[in-house]
Amino acid sequence: LLKWRKPWKKTLEWKEPHAKWFVGGKLNVCENCVDRHLGTPRENKAALVFEGEPGDQKTLTYKQLHVEVCKLANVLEGLGLKQGDRVAIYMPMVCEAVVAMLASARIGAVHTVIFGGFSSESIKDRVNDCGAKLVITADGGWRRGSIIDLKKNVNAAVKGCPSVEHVLVVKRAGNRVSMTSGRDVWWHEAMKDASHKHEAKAFDSEAPLFVLYTSGSTGKPKGVLHTSAGYLLGTTITSKYVFDLKETDTYWCTADIGWITGHSYVTYGILSNGATNVIYEGAPNFPQVDRFW
C-alpha cells in the first residue's frame, strides 16, 4: 500500500552510508501489517498466538488485532501523542508489546523498545536520549518462575526523565505496584472505553519508524534510527524468501522484541506477510530444557 508518483529510477537515493527508499512515496507501516489483511480470508486467522511461562494462552486474529491496535492508537492520541513523538516500550513478551509497537507506528510516533531485562539506569539513559513522552510497561513479567518487577524499574528510571508525561501499565503478573496519580494509567482502564475505529494516516516513506539502541556493553548506547518503507520492504522480503514463509505457516521467532531480530521477525516482517506468529514469554529452559518443544 505504498503510493508514489515519481518514476522508479528517481525513488531510490543512495549516498553512502545512507539509503532512502521510495522517495516521495507515502505509506503507513501498521496498515500494511494489519489493515491490509481485513476483508480477506486472513482476517479470521490467528495473527498472534501467545503462551506465558505459567501456561496461560491467548490468540488474536488479524481482525481482533486490528481492534486492539486501533483502540490503543486512540488512547495514545488521547494522551497527547502525535507524529514524531517518541514512545518507550519496556515490556515482557506479551501480545500487548506487539500492539504497542503497531499502534505507535499507526499514529506516526517513533517507538524505542527497551529489553525487559535491562535496569532502571538503562531505561533512563535511553528515554532521556530519545526524549520519550510516554513509557509503556507492565506491572511485571514471568521468567524462571519469578516475577520481574518491571514497573518498579520504570518508577526508578522516570524520576530522572523530565520528558516523560505518562506511563501506561499493562496488568500482567498481578504483583503490587506503585502508581503515580496524574502520570500513570492502567492499560485495561484506558482501553475499556476507547473506540475501536481509527483511520491510519499515510506518512512519508522516510518517516522515522523506530529507534533501537545498541547494548551499551562497550560504551554509551547508541540510538540507531530505522525509517519506514525501506525497513518494511527488507523485513517483508527476508521473511518471505529467506524463511520461505507462507501465509499458511505458523512461525515462531524466539527473540525478544527488545532486539532487532524481534522487531523484524516477531512483528513487522511476519505480520506484513499475513502469517501466524507465536509469542512465548519465559525462559527457554524453565521448568525443564524441553520447554520450547
DSSP 198-251: -PPPPEETTSEEEEEE---TTSS--EEEEEHHHHHHHHHHIIIIIS---TT-EE
The pLDDT tens digits for 169-187 are: 999 999 999 999 999 999 9
CA distances from 54 to 47, 69, 146, 168, 283 (A): 22, 25, 10, 24, 11
Q: Could you give the 3-state DSSP secondary structure of residue 31? A: helix
DSSP state of 43: G
Largest CA distance in the chain: 57
The pLDDT tens digits for 129-164 are: 999 999 999 999 999 999 999 999 999 999 999 999
The pLDDT tens digits for 92-137 are: 999 999 999 999 999 999 999 999 999 999 999 999 999 999 999 9
Residue 77 has pLDDT above 90, yes or no: yes
In DSSP terms, 203 is beta-bridged to 27
Residue type, position 268, single letter: Y
| Residue 10, pLDDT score | 62
Work out the mean pLDDT of the chain and round it to a whole number. Answer: 94
Yes or no: say if 76 and 107 are a contact pair by the CB < 8 Å rule: yes
